[in-house]
Amino acid sequence: DGGITQSPKYLFRKEGQNVTLSCEQNLNHDAMYWYRQDPGQGLRLIYYSQIVNDFQKGDIAEGYSVSREKKESFPLTVTSAQKNPTAFYLCASSRQNRGTDTQYFGPGTRLTVL
């Protein structure tokens, strides 16, 4: 099946620990994105990548880091510098990043920091 997978579905971490969220796609999409969603809020862009080995900060990149070593994979690390990391994290991909391509979303990871 083609699609975007995120793992794990639920993640619990203690305050001060770094944690890495996985995002994999087999759609052969060039562009990948990470969003954060808080209750009652829309999605906010954390980072995005248009091509392998390149990525750009979104609106709320502070306290997060990403890598794009492979086309299929775009992991997100939530560092201890992120002041309020508990949220629902969504990964998305699109064929390209030209403004005309629909983004398709993975199932999400709900991160809870204790």
Partner 1 sequence: EDKVVQSPLSLVVHEGDTVTLNCSYEVTNFRSLLWYKQEKKAPTFLFMLTSSGIEKKSGRLSSILDKKELFSILNITATQTGDSAVYLCAGITQGGSEKLVFGKGTKLTVNP
Residue 8 or 107: which CB sits closer to partner 1? 107
Closest by CA to 33, choosing from 81, 68, 62, 7, is: 68
Q: What is the nearest approach in angstroms of partner 1 to the Cβ of residue 70?
A: 22
Residue 66 or 90: which CB sits closer to partner 1? 90
Q: What is the nearest approach in angstroms of partner 1 to the Cβ of residue 74?
A: 15
Q: What is the nearest approach in angstroms of partner 1 to the Cβ of residue 6?
A: 8
Residue 72 or 80: which CB sits closer to partner 1? 72
Q: What is the nearest approach in angstroms of partner 1 to the Cβ of residue 79?
A: 22
Return residues touching partner 1 (CB under 8 A): 33, 35, 40-45, 48, 56, 58, 90, 97-100, 102-108
